[in-house]
Amino acid sequence: MNKDIITEKLKVLVKPYVPEGKLLNNINEDTNLIKDLEINSINLIDVILDIELEFGIEIDNVSMEKMTTVGSAIEIIMNKLGRPGTSDA
Amino acid sequence: MSNRVVITGLGIVSPNATGTEAFIEAIKKGKSGIRFVRELADLNFSCCIAGLPDVPAELVKKYFTSLQLRNFNSSGILYGCIAGMEAWLDGGMSINNSDEADYDSGLIMGTGSAGVEKTREAIYKVDGGEVRRLGSNTLTQTMVSGVSAYLGGMLGLGNQVTTNSAACSTGTEAVLMAYERIKSGRAVRMIAGSTCDHGPYVWAGFDAIRVMTYKFNDFPEKGSRPMSRTASGFVPGSGAGALLLESLDSARQRGARIYAEVLGGEVNSGGQRGDGTMTVQNSAAVQRCIRNAVDSSGIKPQDIDAIDGHLTSTSKDSLEVRNWAEAINRKGEGFPYINSLKSMTGHCLTASGSIECAAAVLELYGQFLYPSINCEDVKPEIAEIISESRIPRELTFPERLNIIAKASLGFGDVNACIIFSRFID
């Protein structure tokens, strides 16, 4: 699965938790889930569960703590999916 | 400046109607909200009939965001929040969209169980080692104060926001607690009410102790028969009621419509002493509760025009009538009118007190008494104490209807009695 597909799927997954749709218009790798997208911190748990379900992966607690931006989320998803050449593969 | 307390708003989610206008129409007509429930039969319940409110999807979406409704599975919270919001808006109040909490206004919304269906989901996940899968809103749906937490957040209330629990007396107790808080000057207005989840997990315990009727599964609307010779146990119900209580000064200042006034009341317990047990009231305590309620309201027993009873459609109905008669020293033709909303709604358990208080308030405002249905055959023990003419069997317009006494008697031997008055300026 390439990065663009993952990014699009991610946008769909976070949408229910973003208070205003327009916040999703100009996202980039540095977009902060809580500060920029205004997702309530408690809903990050739900975002992660939805990601696990969508991609068929499991995100451990250590990885969960690192998932603060769109970029880090994509990175973690790709790692868990087994990106070629990484030690997780 | 008085410290009188009045009712300025009502919200009702009842088995026989949702919404105040629909409820008034339903109770005037003697409409039953009881029906056969297939799920109970499939689960081997003896009692397979129940009262379940009809809540349209549009109404849910009016008050709950789609985010709140994700993985939402708590009927009690749903009913309670809808009733609470309706009472607030019915009272002419607007929703607080500011950044500041409204410190003048609070709420007491009672319940007996919390998100029973959601708890069941959670239990399976926890037992299956899948605690991670509970998501962010299992906790808030399964904590007993969930209903008051959700409602307090919807309205941005900043005074006391809490959930009380006193079995079947919960709703009436909530109204009295709110009354006292406003009377003492610690709040300007309080939403007071109670709710109850529906479903087999709530009702199973009652079925197990054989206190619900199993004889009317083929005739659901006839099953709930308070004060009738053929009553054979109560019919379970569910839903929520909410009353907006407010200081008279505040009500006048904002030109609010006033439904009725709370004159006073009493809560007490029989201590499960004397003839009281966990599930049967101590008669002396019930009578004491009624007498104290009357005294603290500044009225005399003769002033009571109607009694809205607890009257559940069990063998205890005659004892309750006897306790009323002895407490207020009135009998025969001289007894007040007496009716029971449970004849139409079934016993809504922790929601019963608030839905029934709301009905009593509406009777005073509209100057009518709803019929106590399924009482064509009055129990002989009751007919010995009071005249049958005291039980309205059809919509009644009494000559005088100024004071209604309402009591709720709960398991644990706990009692609450409240005195409502027609509002006289």
Please tell me the total count of domains within chain B: 2
Instruction: Please say which residue of B244, B260, B276 terminates a domain.
Output: B260
Query: What is the structure's pLDDT at A83?
Result: 66
- Percent of all residues in chain B with a pLDDT value above 70, rounded to a whole number: 100
B408: CATH: 3.40.47.10
> Would the CB atoms of B135 and A49 count as touching at under 8 Å?
yes
Instruction: Please say which residue of B260, B279, B305 terminates a domain.
Output: B260
Query: Are residue B256 and residue B270 in the same domain, yes or no?
Result: no
pLDDT greater than 50 at residue A76: yes
Show the CA angle centred on residue B63, arms to residues B252 and B245, nearest 5°. Answer: 25
Q: Which residue of A has its CA nearest to B132?
A: A49
Element housing B149 (H / E): helix B146-155
Query: What is the structure's pLDDT at A86?
Result: 43
Instruction: Please say which residue of B231, B260, B289 terminates a domain.
Output: B260
Query: Are residue B255 and residue B363 in the same domain, yes or no?
Result: no
Query: Are residue B87 and residue B214 in the same domain, yes or no?
Result: yes
Give residue A29's domain range: 3-81
pLDDT classification of A88: cutoffs 50, 70, 90? very low
Query: Are residue B338 and residue B222 in the same domain, yes or no?
Result: no
Please tell me the total count of domains within chain A: 1
Query: Are residue B111 and residue B211 in the same domain, yes or no?
Result: yes
- Closest Cα partner for B2 from B179, B190, B250, B180? B250
Within a domain: A87: no
Chains A–B, number of C-beta pairs less than 8 Å apart? 16
Within a domain: A8: yes
How far does B134 lie from chain A, in Å, by closest CA? 9
Give residues with Cβ within 8 angstroms of B21, minimum separation 6: none
SS3 B197: coil
Model pLDDT for residues B343-362, shown as the tens digit of each residue: 999 999 999 999 999 999 99
Q: Which residue of A has its CA nearest to B133?
A: A49
* Pick from B67, B132, B133: CB nearest A17: B67
How far does B147 lie from chain A, in Å, by closest CA? 19
Query: Are residue B38 and residue B179 in the same domain, yes or no?
Result: yes
Interface-testing mutation among A14, A18, A43, with chain B (most B C-beta atoms within 10 A)? A43
Model pLDDT for residues B45-54, shown as the tens digit of each residue: 999 999 999 9
Interface-testing mutation among B72, B97, B134, B136, with chain A (most A C-beta atoms within 10 A)? B136
Give residue B402's domain range: 264-421
Model pLDDT for residues A3-59, shown as the tens digit of each residue: 899 999 999 999 999 999 899 988 999 999 999 999 999 999 999 999 999 999 999
Q: Are the C-beta atoms of B20 and B88 separated by less than 8 Å? A: no
A12: CATH: 1.10.1200.10
Within a domain: A56: yes
Within a domain: A77: yes
> Would the CB atoms of A45 and B133 count as touching at under 8 Å?
no
Query: Are residue B249 and residue B269 in the same domain, yes or no?
Result: no
Query: Are residue B228 and residue B280 in the same domain, yes or no?
Result: no
Give me the interface pTM, i.e. the ipTM: 0.83
Query: What is the structure's pLDDT at A89?
Result: 40
Query: Are residue B205 and residue B320 in the same domain, yes or no?
Result: no
SS (H, E, C) B310-353: CCCCCCCHHHHHHHHHHHHCCCECCCCEEECCHHHHCECHHHHH
Residues of A with CB under 8 A from a CB of B: 16-17, 42-43, 45-46, 49
Query: Are residue B353 and residue B323 in the same domain, yes or no?
Result: yes
Within a domain: A34: yes
Within a domain: A37: yes
Please name the residues between 119 and 148 in chain B that touch chain A, using a CB distance below 8 Å.
132-133, 135-136
> Would the CB atoms of B135 and A16 count as touching at under 8 Å?
no
Query: What is the structure's pLDDT at B115?
Result: 87
Within a domain: A54: yes
Provide the 8-state DSSP code for B123. Answer: H
> Would the CB atoms of A46 and B132 count as touching at under 8 Å?
no
Model pLDDT for residues A47-64, shown as the tens digit of each residue: 999 999 999 999 999 999
Within a domain: A88: no
Query: Are residue B248 and residue B350 in the same domain, yes or no?
Result: no
Query: Are residue B372 and residue B342 in the same domain, yes or no?
Result: yes
Task: Please report residues of A whose CB lies closer than 8 A to that of B135.
Answer: 45-46, 49
> Would the CB atoms of B136 and A16 count as touching at under 8 Å?
no
